[in-house]
Structure 1
Amino acid sequence: MNLPWDILLDILIRLPLKSIVRFRCVNHSWYNQLKCPNFLEERNQYAVEMGKFNLMFHNYDDMYTFNYDTTLSTCEETSHIVCRSRVACPVVFNNVGIEVLGCCNGLVLLRHGTRSYLSSMCYLLILWNPTTNECKRLRNPPSIGMRVNNCKSYEDYGFGYDEQIEDFKVVHLTEALWEDDLYDVHLYTLKSKSWTSLYSIKIDCLNYPRMSYMGRWPVNGCFHWIAQLEQHGLFILRFEFETDEIDSVALPDFDEDAQVSLCVSGGSLCCFRNDTKVIGVWELKDNEEEEFWTKLFTIELGKHFGFVSSFMPLQLLKNGMIVLGLLLSDGCLHIVLYDPKHVTFETFAVHDRSAKGSSVCVESLFSLGTGTYLGKDDFNYSSEENDDDDSTDGGDGEEE
């Protein structure tokens, strides 16, 4: 019996990635269908909805993941974390720092600095698929080479996917060279392999207080930062990948000195107010007429864990529970599942080291089209080396 393609695809998105790769060998039609970006994106969305993702943590000299899979649980009220595994990162850990700038559809945007990073802003930008180990070095934005002697400049990145043109985009915000309180916006597209200058926006400070790395996942086609205007205080800056436009979203009514971080939860943007003892959690909702914040719950960390040096909101699950990363007084990273309904905590994993940053990433078969894979090719570039004859100071030309 021949099943319609829509039914077949609905079955296939539920299969493990290794099975999908095998089914690509059935015939040419299956190969094309299972490599289609729309299918791969639907498969990623299904994995997130089902609670199947990787928690990725990194230090200056190590990167590792915990595989999280609620489908391995024996009941709906519990979850399952598979043991820690070390990740083969596409750059050498040489105590100069690595940052996860964004995750989207299973791809990760990395920034690898050099020892002169703070003074010269010299670094590598790398796109990487941890599932397939395919990687690609991106040329730096054109403004980077101009800031050799400006150590006070600030910049940040966003990474997302434009469904209309089926292409990945990297947005770069950096302080303008000659004017205070102005940020230049540049855009890189994977297919064009080049940067474009879009426009400038007026803000006093980007990411203040600094946005946690847990929020570096696009929500509804948009990327978000916390920014500041002297007259209006803190607010959320939002970039939409389909229109390449920026707008703003007001935060909940917090005190001026509130410590605020963002987190992505099942297709919604969430905001956390943190004072190390009590955490308030809000969710941004939309009723088609206006956007508004709804308070979900409060977490009394101090009551249950004592002193918490760092709080990492990792993921809000479909059943309302939240996965947290906590750095406690023992110096270890504790991965905890919090049930706000019953006010209970369950520790699933403890790592004997702290974490500089963390991200949530799904397994994916999205291809970068480079043919460069870890284990097959040497991708451990030094800061002076160039990929595809790109210069490290960027530019608007094509990569060869």
Structure 2
Amino acid sequence: MSDYLPEEVVLEILHRLPVKSLIRFRCVSKSWNSLITSSAFINSHLTRSLSLPSNSSKLIVRHRLDNSYVNYFKLIDDNNDSFDQIQNIELPRRNRRIKSFMLIGSVNGLFSLYDRERYILWNPSIRKFITLPKPCSFIVFCRHAFGFDPRTNDYKVVRIAFPSRISMSEEAKPPLIEVYSLNEGCWRITSASFPPGIKVTDWCRPAAFLNGAVHFAAEYENKPGGPCGPLVLSFNLLDEAFHVISLPNVTFKWTNNVHTSVIGGLLSLLFYYGRHADNKCCAIWVMKEYGVVDSWTKQFTVDLNRGGEIIRVLGLQKNGYILVEALLSGPSCCELSSYDPKSEQVKNLGICGSLYDFHVDNYMENLGLLDKPNETVSERRVSRKRKCSATKFPG
């Protein structure tokens, strides 16, 4: 084809092709393989894919079965009222002993996974993953996040490493903020200062990614005369700095179960109330205009007693229904379900799993990682800003 068409026309055609076709077409010639695996083509193909509304019709579901500690991923079509067509996706495994990963987050079809030995970036659409080098500090008590900086086309893993205290009387040291940049191929310790007087509260859920920043549910520490209540702590992936996003000037009922999420393309906070009461509910607040405190709006209140018992809110379907995790007959067995906020009816969708182990996110095909070697990233590469070595906390 390249013998009869100008190069710019061939490039335009390739940009419009799905990922699976591009993977096959790498075999056409050395020049096509070089083009398709180049960073420039991967970035431009992603930019075009993000502009297509068809890419918002896929959802990916993670779940576990029977407390087996084995993760399963399924790809489903959100255009239908029922998930009739379900595609299983094989999880990357290089160690037979490890069958389960902690999900740090997913962006543009790429996933960041973690186990006790390693961090992984995984692209299921091209069946490829890379293992990251070990981070700078060796601290077990960490909060992770994963996001994408669209201005530099760079995927980043964020690691907030909290030092342990020998005794409660010892003054707490500030956490180290480490960032792995896929473009740079290494971890580095940033100069970002974790805001004093604030503590992260949502340790068990992936941080929400939106507008080039990752978002954590947090609250002010209980200090006399100081501010109190929940808030959103964001970490911008371009300037690599923390920012506090306040909540509206309303009184929130006390709850120790708050999560960040992205619902309908908007930054959202999920407030869970009455875990052991008869009037359990989840209040969903969304930020209509990003960064504007006055735009926070209470969008839905989900009755957690519906459909037997709803455990968690997972996301929003294109038809306006809310995806939830609902209990089945057993005490630890749940099913992915759809909740209609108008009729308050719950419909089971046929995907079962263990309690609190569901995760649902938008999915799109992406060529990301195609230009990377399918093996452990070299640990010898270090950042020019600050070398990662046997890191010690300040003080």
Q: 1:212 aligns with which of 205, 225, 249?
A: 205
Counterpart contact for 2:19–2:126, Cα < 8 Å: no
Secondary structure in structure 1 of the residue aligned to 2:367: coil
Q: Distance in 1 between matches of 2:144 and 2:103?
A: 10
Structure-to-structure mapping, 1:244-283, within 5 angstroms: 244-251=240-247, 253-275=251-273, 276=275, 277-283=280-286
Structure 1: stretches of 5+ with no match in the other structure: 114-122, 148-152, 374-385
Q: 1:196 aligns with which of 179, 188, 200?
A: 188
Partner of 2:76: 68
Partner of 2:347: 346
Identify which range, 258-267 or 204-213, moves more after superposition. Answer: 204-213
Counterpart contact for 1:103–1:217, Cα < 8 Å: no
Secondary structure in structure 2 of the residue aligned to 1:37: helix
Change in 2 beyond 3 A, CA 1:260/1:217 = closer
CA RMSD, 1 decimal: 3.8
Q: CA deviation at 1:94?
A: 3.9
Q: CA deviation at 1:45?
A: 5.9
Counterpart contact for 1:206–1:225, Cα < 8 Å: no
Change in 2 beyond 3 A, CA 1:291/1:181 = farther
Identify which range, 170-179 or 293-302, moves more after superposition. Answer: 170-179
Q: Distance in 1 between matches of 2:46 and 2:87?
A: 26
Structure 2: stretches of 5+ with no match in the other structure: 166-170, 390-395
Secondary structure in structure 1 of the residue aligned to 2:216: strand
Q: CA deviation at 1:223?
A: 0.4
Q: 2:179 aligns with which of 152, 165, 187?
A: 187
Partner of 1:143: 137
Q: Distance in 2 between matches of 1:49 and 1:266?
A: 14
Change in 2 beyond 3 A, CA 1:249/1:355 = same
Q: CA deviation at 1:355?
A: 5.1
Change in 2 beyond 3 A, CA 1:99/1:81 = farther
Q: Distance in 2 between matches of 1:326 and 1:255?
A: 24
Counterpart contact for 2:246–2:293, Cα < 8 Å: no
Letter in 1 for 2:75: N
Structure-to-structure mapping, 1:153-192, within 5 angstroms: 154-176=141-163, 180=172, 182-192=174-184
Query: Radius of gyration: which is bigger?
Result: 2
Secondary structure in structure 2 of the residue aligned to 1:43: helix
Partner of 1:35: 41
Q: Distance in 2 between matches of 1:324 and 1:48?
A: 23
Q: CA deviation at 1:297?
A: 1.6
Structure-to-structure mapping, 1:1-400, within 5 angstroms: 16-22=18-24, 25=28, 28=32, 31=36, 35-44=41-50, 46=52, 50-58=56-64, 61-71=69-79, 73=80, 78-83=81-86, 85=88, 87-92=90-95, 94=97, 98-113=101-116, 123-144=117-138, 147=139, 154-176=141-163, 180=172, 182-198=174-190, 199-204=192-197, 206-210=199-203, 212-213=205-206, 216-230=207-221, 231=226, 232-251=228-247, 253-275=251-273, 276=275, 277-286=280-289, 290=293, 292-302=295-305, 304-308=306-310, 310-311=311-312, 313-330=313-330, 331-351=332-352, 353-354=354-355, 356=357, 358-360=359-361, 361-367=363-369, 369-372=371-374, 388=378, 396=388
Q: CA deviation at 1:20?
A: 4.3
Q: CA deviation at 1:36?
A: 3.0
Secondary structure in structure 2 of the residue aligned to 1:363: coil
1:305-352 per-residue CA deviation (whole Å, 9 max, x = no partner) reads 2344x31x3321343222222344523221112222343322111325
Q: Distance in 2 between matches of 1:349 and 1:56?
A: 14
Name the % identity.
23
